[in-house]
Structure 1
Amino acid sequence: MDKMTQILDIPSIKNDTNFWMVRAKRGFFFDEFMRNEFIAIGWNSVTKAMISQNLTRSQSDRLKASIKATYDESKPGTSLNKCIRFCYELKAGDIAVIVDNNRVAFAYIGEYYEEQSPTLTVELGKEVHQQIEKANPNTDTFTCPYIKRRKITLIKVLTADDTISPYLQSAIARNWHSLSDLNEYAELVLSGCFDTVLFKDKLTVTFRVKRKEEINVLDLANFVLCAARLLSDDKPETVQVKTTLHSPGDVILQIWNFAQENAFPLLICYMAIFGGKVGDYEFHSIIGVIKGIINHKYDEDKKKIELRKLSAEADLAEQQALKQKLENIETMRRLQLSSVDAYAEPLATAAKNLAVQPSSATIIDITKILKSQQEEQPPQ
């Protein structure tokens, strides 16, 4: 993979990843979940050792009767299913959407464990639940009394300045279960987690539009089309667009059959949108900077092939193949340079007018790119 492309560090999510929503009991456990990096589920009387994914009818009936008697549950079967799901169906690497009344967090799910504190009794869990029913979320606090837990690794906690897809928000609002399957909303979850992500061979790039005023149609059209052209090597018909744009909101571009090693066009697109003054570097002409990066990349590619071409080991057939590769490199160089001339400036202008901003998870450190170029320059 190209050294500069590695700087993008695009998250790649496994195809078998599942997505879950976990509620933090009216939000009272949310801060503790974030601080101590775990999620948990109730019904302390049911432990993992007591259940399995293949309970017999009699085992299931006994457990449901016990849950009903202990917790006065009207639907003990639903409670039992949540315990089984939390212990056995959630797996390391799945993604959790953790919600309270007003906040949302995204996290990788980790291994299961049971908290061994002797204070976390069945009675304590029931008592905390009763107190929460009458509590004021603005003034009252509680410590999570649940023993069934999973470690998490936080990806992102949405702040007041962040937007969330109204479709995902609607799904969350409609579902008040403590644990729910969100696989139907996988793409919306991922675009909330990451600005750029690769999942099931599809690259999803989410641009966060922060403009609160009305949006000019030309700005939106220029932004979508120019970004699509740069991302796809001027094949915009291969790019899908989705918007949850409600000023502010998101513009989502997707490309199928995307390979991480071909991420260089994404770097060009990001440079056009987010370029400017970074660190100690002042970009008087972002177009010139982008072209310099393009030329640097293709010069490096040419050097590798030319060295091989000079090798005595390369036979005639390989020499012809290498010659064709050099011609292809020049063709791609000209294509990307002409695309920058045509689309980078209108894209940058539209991005500025739309107030497109990267999240903290996807800010490209352009200084690393410039430093990388300087280190690779031969001594004078």
Structure 2
Amino acid sequence: MIENLLKQVKELQTNKGYWFVRTDSGDNFEAFRQLNFIGIGWNYITTQDLNNNQDNGYIIKEKIARREEIDPSTPSGRSKITAIYNKIKRFKEFKVGDIIVMPNEGSNILGFGTIEEEEIYNDVNDNTCEYTKRRKVKWHKFLNFSELDPIFYAIVKTRHAISNIKNYESYIDKTMENLFVKDDHYHFVIDIEKKEDINIYSLLKLIDSVNKLTESIDNQFNFETIQNNRSIKLNLQSPGKIEFIFKNGKSLALLAFLLSANFAGTVTLPNNFTPEDIQQLIQLQEVNQTDIDTINSTYLELQARKIRINQID
């Protein structure tokens, strides 16, 4: 059963890029959102130019200088030409699975998506956006800025068309996913939506019950765990997040699944779950009902958002 369960936990790659892509003060936000792409300007630089770029960009930079009427003989001119060239080159080098974050006008909403195809494509017929060089994107979430960690202020204040935001990957990961594994560490993120002051007793009770329940699951399934390989991150400025991080934390994944649904048949279960799997989950739920009830009650007190990990993209 645990093998089938773990197939439902998204594994995040460590070598992917994280990029903040501006939308021309929001002008292209809806086009990007509705048509599932991102684009970049300087249409006179073609995909053929980029694919034939064998000379460290010399020909492309010459073309930029000519079309933008920039003098390449001056330091400031060379700097402007190189800046444009680097943006286009970076846009081409995005990889499948790279994370894209984009803002609307005023950065009141941020979209979170992933690059879907390896190559740039051209669309000269769509007049909703003037950019013809495009990358296919699958959008996963659009969130109001008020729902996000304050660290995102540092992301949106950059004025560059494309910015490398790899340094913020841990914040972006837990914004996009509630349960995932990365570098053999399992992450279970609980979103706390309560806007009033957090009751410290309720918070401690939740943490203690999660710890007790995972220990119980470890014992029942003979999972090998090391207690000091468990950690927790709190960011509770109301609303906020609680992030549990366990090394090889199969019990944490199973706990998240127990909390996400009623296994008596009131929800659609994953296709790879057998009747025996479901019965085993029900039995596990019954054995640990006291701790599950405690967690559920603190969920209500803290206005924590229920996750549904059995509905995978």
TM range (shorter): 0.7 to 0.9
SS of the residue 2:69 aligns to = helix
Query: In 1, distance between residues paired with 2:63 and 2:211?
Result: 55
Residue type at the aligned position of 1:65: A
Which residue of the partner structure matches residue 368 of structure 1? Answer: none
Query: In 1, distance between residues paired with 2:261 and 2:63?
Result: 60
What aligned pairs does 1:13-28 form with structure 2 within 5 A after superposition?
Answer: 13-28=12-27
Deviation string, structure 1 residues 145-193 (Cα, Å, up to 9, x no partner): 0011000112222258x721211x1232221211111111111111111
Check conservation: 1:107, 1:155, Cα contact below 8 A: yes
Which residue of the partner structure matches residue 273 of structure 2? Answer: none
1:163 aligns with 2:169: no
Query: In 1, distance between residues paired with 2:28 and 2:67?
Result: 23
Which residue of the partner structure matches residue 96 of structure 1? Answer: 100
User: 5+ residue gaps in structure 1?
Assistant: 121-142, 282-291, 300-332, 366-380
Deviation string, structure 1 residues 353-375 (Cα, Å, up to 9, x no partner): 1011135xx3547xxxxxxxxxx
Check conservation: 1:64, 1:77, Cα contact below 8 A: no
Check conservation: 1:17, 1:93, Cα contact below 8 A: yes
What aligned pairs does 1:87-126 form with structure 2 within 5 A after superposition?
Answer: 87=92, 89-100=93-104, 101-111=107-117, 112-117=119-124
Which residue of the partner structure matches residue 47 of structure 1? Answer: 46
Shift of residue 3 of structure 1?
A: 6.7
SS of the residue 1:43 aligns to = coil
Query: In 1, distance between residues paired with 2:280 and 2:263?
Result: 21
Query: In 1, distance between residues paired with 2:208 and 2:185?
Result: 19
Q: 111, 136, 144: which one pairs with 1:151? A: 136
User: 5+ residue gaps in structure 2?
Assistant: 71-76, 220-225, 268-275
Q: 1:278 to 1:95 in 2, by over 3 A?
A: farther
Greater Rg by CA:
1
Q: 1:357 to 1:364 in 2, by over 3 A?
A: farther
Which residue of the partner structure matches residue 69 of structure 1? Answer: 69
Q: 151, 155, 163: which one pairs with 1:172? A: 155
Q: 254, 259, 263: which one pairs with 1:267? A: 254
Query: In 1, distance between residues paired with 2:123 and 2:135?
Result: 13
Q: 80, 85, 104: which one pairs with 2:85? A: 80
Residue type at the aligned position of 2:112: F
Which residue of the partner structure matches residue 353 of structure 1? Answer: 301
Identical residues among aligned pairs (%): 23
Check conservation: 2:188, 2:243, Cα contact below 8 A: yes
The TM-score, its normalising length taken from structure 1, stands at: 0.64
Which residue of the partner structure matches residue 2 of structure 2? Answer: 2
What aligned pairs does 1:1-380 form with structure 2 within 5 A after superposition?
Answer: 2=2, 5=5, 9-51=8-50, 55-56=55-56, 58-59=58-59, 61-66=61-66, 68-69=68-69, 75-87=80-92, 89-100=93-104, 101-111=107-117, 112-117=119-124, 143-159=128-144, 163-167=147-151, 169-231=152-214, 233=218, 237-258=228-249, 262=250, 265-272=252-259, 274=260, 280=266, 296=280, 340=288, 343-358=291-306, 362-364=308-310
SS of the residue 1:62 aligns to = helix
RMSD: 3.6
Runs of 4+ aligned structure 1 residues displaced above 4 Å come to: 274-281, 292-295
SS of the residue 2:187 aligns to = strand
Q: 1:255 to 1:268 in 2, by over 3 A?
A: closer
Greater helix share, structure number = 1
The TM-score, its normalising length taken from structure 2, stands at: 0.77
Query: In 1, distance between residues paired with 2:10 and 2:156?
Result: 28
